[in-house]
A and B are shown apart, each in its own frame.
Chain A
């Protein structure tokens, strides 16, 4: 009976005499002896590599391990996600501005987060940041608006011409084409433009144009436009026509030039009367060339 894997034992030289005799009997001993003999002196053609040890020993000892890199990537990704979320969150809350805009012949009443009220006159725009409003009451205005400011921290209206700040009061800001009019109806209003500061008290108003400022007084308790009236202070014919265009949503073509100005009130709901006041004030005549379209000519 042959041992399991007896050829392995034969090659290893640990077969007994009887086992070898058994192999001889089955006629396989000769050929296996030859195979064993002629595989005794085999070698591989590999050349000596004496330089390999130095190459191994001089390899950088600290291997950049895979796991820490993955962890770094995880942290980096997490950090990137947080940054994106913060950015989005910033846009959604802190940087988000609330915007209002009125067209020609439109008004809009706005209540601010602290209860302060704003009425936007025609063709005006206003924006502010809702976030942190109570600590940072600042809004940007183009056009005209009346403000009734609730008591609290400094309330600022930023216009391209200058900034109006108050603590709690009623005032009107008009900012059109480089000209700015501020009227105070209650309390005190601080006015700042080009580094100059002024305090307006109740019943006073100021007009700033071309870096010049002129003081005037306001008799009414609220701005005239709030009562469907348009008030002008040292207004040029151009200023008046553009205001009438805004309020009545009409078109007035005028190439007239005059140094004359107008201070007074026009109705905001009676176009014919308003135009007649204009005709008298500047000594001009109007022609209706088409519906809602007028031309002014010297009388």
Chain B
């Protein structure tokens, strides 16, 4: 076995860090809605990976990172509301921009949807938002959560049903 593992290579580690830092922090944020805790736990998880880099090949680093973060997040107590927002730069659906009535309706729907997401149970919300916000494939979500793809699909499916029920109820 080689003395130094490529995970310990600073440039490679930095690349790995940059491609996972945002997703990891989001993942932790979906779990308990606190930016501060999400940042702290993400940093702790990366530090642990860096400290143990010799034992962890780069291809195992991702699941190690999420496992550490998940274990650490179990100790986090505070559970705040998961507040999300809409990206402002994104264009509105074509042909609707100049219809104020439509805009108002759309705003109402968005607000209902946000509170519906808040009310999802944690496992459904995490899987759903990893797909919707982080644009991860189901296989990637499954890998990070340490569950099967089928389990991810089930959570997404249930999240969709729950969101529909809530949006219709709030109507």
Instruction: Identify the A interface with B (CB < 8 A).
Output: 4-12, 28, 31-32, 34-35, 37-47, 49, 52-53, 55-57, 59-63
Contact = CB atoms under 8 A, between A and B. Distances in A.
B164 A35 contact: yes
23 contacts: A5-B156, A5-B157, A8-B138, A9-B153, A11-B156, A11-B160, A12-B138, A28-B164, A34-B167, A35-B160, A41-B87, A43-B85, A45-B83, A46-B39, A49-B39, A52-B39, A52-B42, A52-B43, A53-B18, A53-B21, A56-B46, A59-B47, A60-B51
A41 B90 contact: yes
A35 B164 CA distance: 8
Contact of A43 (B13, B93, B133): B133
Given A12-B138, A31-B167, A44-B26, A55 B87 contact: no
B133 A44 contact: yes
A61 B154 CA distance: 41
Contacts of B51: 59-63
A42 B129 contact: yes
Nearest to B161: A7
A211 B38 CA distance: 87
A43 B160 contact: no
Contacts of A4: 153
A39 B43 CA distance: 28
Nearest to A47: B35
A56 B17 contact: yes
A265 B168 CA distance: 127
